[in-house]
Structure 1
Amino acid sequence: MAALSTEQASPAAPRRDLPPSMVERMTLIMDAFTGRSTRLTLEDVARRTHLPRSTAHRILDQLVQLNWLDHTSFGYRLGKRALGLGGRDGSHGEIREAAAPLLHELQIKTGMVVHLAVLDGAEVFYLDKVGGRFALSVPSRVGGRAPAHCTALGKAILAWLEPEQVDTLIDGPISRLTNHTIGDIATLHQELNRIRQRHGLAFERGECFPQISCVAAAIRGHEGPVASISLVGESRTPLEKVAPLVVDAARQAALTLFPGLESPRRTRAAARTPDPTWSTETMNQMLAVGQDGDWL
């Protein structure tokens, strides 16, 4: 009888103990997100952390409310706080790493200056600059900033935001840096609409700096643009010849950052990613030049 009682009292199987504190449980969940492009469902989080589904769900909701995580149609992802306020955090290293070989390839193919930037409020923040013979004439630097509304880099990103987001970011009077700078929000919205009609290609000639022209395309993920790439030349550089190269580079960077971008479940925004190459006829239809030489 004693032996039987001992056997009945013994545990049936060892069970993994849950972390005792909320901080430890939150840390388990945050550690499950290995990078900016990580997307996890509730089931993924519960499986990776070994937390009960109800516990994981409750903590995830709190992390979303506090902006540590975002909840999207694709699941959970790192939020503004995790990625750094203002976007100046280590996650930029992931963007730079994905884009670096593409920037160098662009520079070699074209001999032009190549920029990589992200949107930070109403400005673009330069993450990288790969120079050519024209580099010293371009007054930009890594870590520098420029108004988003008058740069091809900024307009390429703004074009894929909701109009209300643009209004919030570009709040108040718009500064004009040159005679070609867009000076009001209505004209800016018209320009952003033209960029969307050109499948995301953004141009600027002398809007930010005199005698400089740029063409840019946004690097777009599941939920929208995360950065942009541009080629920079002199004011009369025929940018239509190099525009497809910029689009290709932005698309390849997006596929590196978001490997599932071209899966059947991609979002409508991702589905509008331009094709890798265009014929001359298609380019001519997409790009129009006014009588004064400005891009329309």
Structure 2
Amino acid sequence: MTDDPTTVTVQSTLPLSMVERMTLIMEAFDRPLARLTLDEVTQHTGLPRSTAHRILDQLVQCRWLIHAKSHYSLGSLALTLGGRELAQHELRSAASDVLQTLALRTGTFVHLATLAGPEIYYLDVFGPKPGHRFGAQVGGRVPAHCTAAGKAILAGLTPEYVDNQYSTALRGARTSRSISDIAGLHRELARIRGRNGLAVERGECFPALACVGAPIRTGDGPIGAISIVTRADSALEPLAPLVMRAARTISDTLIRSADVW
């Protein structure tokens, strides 16, 4: 049975529904780590710029997307429904060898983490001695503002995003040294930006531990971070260039991978 040509012609000229327009936009993010500007979304979907911008804002409010600086990326709802595993696999694959080497070279434990709302989620932990535990565990979550990895990511996001995540008060302080107010967090993030993303913490998450962290970036924003964890009385300065170099190496690998797509 064939379609009525008249019916087909009428349907093709009808304006797209809101669901169809939202679907077009979500299809533009065809990779878990995709980061698109408004102009790129407009070009991909063929939607008017004002329409795309309005729908993008609605998708951000509903947590389907995240808006950071000039780009958009998949948000917590989209990742929860299937993209998270792919994104995490891509990030872990790019980081694995680099972080294992870093752990062996420094004799410390190294964490790989991503942002999950106001928390960080630990994707991987590498140590000089297999089977030993030191600090966080794979699959664990802690408040992002209490960790070097979390602060390294937050420093690369907009102040508006940080305010949104901590709109009432900073909850989940782990120790007496944890940052406890939004103004203090913004001051700390400003210092981190002044160090090109290098973040440190002593006893803010675990009283006896200290960390130095750096963001993993693709495009113009952070997608994760790494951190070296050591004892609270250890010198962090010698570790800083090593963690920064490792983060850049992972970032470059992900950027090259994205170019292939």
> Would you call these one fold, judging by a TM-score over 0.5?
yes
Per-residue displacement from partner, 1:45-87 (whole Å, max 9, x unpaired)? 58xxxxxx67x99x98898565667899999865655433698
Say whether residues 1:195 and 2:221 are aligned partners.
Answer: no
Match of 2:27 in 1: 30
1:12-91 aligned within 5 A: 30=27, 33-37=30-34, 41=40, 45=44, 64=56, 66=59, 81-84=77-80, 88-91=84-87
1:45-194 aligned within 5 A: 45=44, 64=56, 66=59, 81-84=77-80, 88-133=84-129, 136=132, 138-170=134-166, 171-194=168-191
Structure 1 residue 37, shift from structure 2 partner: 3.7
Per chain length, whose mean CA-contact separation is higher, i.e. which structure has more relative contact order (CA < 8 Å, sep 6+)? 2
Residue of 222, 240, 251 corresponding to 2:237: 240
Query: Partners of 2:165 and 2:106 in 1: how far apart?
Result: 33
Query: Partners of 1:190 and 1:107 in 2: how far apart?
Result: 30
Say whether residues 1:228 and 2:225 are aligned partners.
Answer: yes
Match of 1:207 in 2: 204
Over the matched positions of the two proteins, sequence identity in percent amounts to 43
Query: Partners of 2:134 and 2:226 in 1: how far apart?
Result: 15
CA RMSD of aligned residues (A): 3.9
- Secondary structure, aligned partner of 1:181: coil
Match of 1:290 in 2: none
Structure exhibiting the larger radius of gyration computed from Cα positions:
1
Say whether residues 1:257 and 2:251 are aligned partners.
Answer: no
* Partner amino acid, structure 2, of 1:234: R
Match of 2:3 in 1: none
Query: Partners of 1:257 and 1:197 in 2: how far apart?
Result: 24
Structure 1 residue 248, shift from structure 2 partner: 1.1
* Partner amino acid, structure 2, of 1:217: A
TM-score (norm 2): 0.72
Residue 114 to residue 87, structure 1, CA distance change in 2 (3 Å):
farther
Per-residue displacement from partner, 1:220-262 (whole Å, max 9, x unpaired)? 2224111000001111222111111111111121122223999
* Partner amino acid, structure 2, of 1:224: G
Task: Decide whether the 8 Å contact of 1:175 with 1:183 is kept in 2.
Answer: no
Residue 177 to residue 135, structure 1, CA distance change in 2 (3 Å):
farther
Per-residue displacement from partner, 1:69-108 (whole Å, max 9, x unpaired)? 7899999865655433698432111111111111111112
Query: Partners of 1:142 and 1:221 in 2: how far apart?
Result: 23
- Secondary structure, aligned partner of 1:114: strand
Query: Partners of 1:167 and 1:72 in 2: how far apart?
Result: 13
TM-score (norm 1): 0.64
Query: Partners of 1:189 and 1:77 in 2: how far apart?
Result: 23
Task: Decide whether the 8 Å contact of 2:34 with 2:73 is kept in 1.
Answer: yes
Query: Partners of 2:88 and 2:32 in 1: how far apart?
Result: 11
Task: Decide whether the 8 Å contact of 2:69 with 2:158 is kept in 1.
Answer: no
- Structure with the higher helix share, 1 or 2: 2
Residue 173 to residue 33, structure 1, CA distance change in 2 (3 Å):
closer
Number of residue pairs matched by the alignment: 236
Query: Partners of 2:235 and 2:252 in 1: how far apart?
Result: 28
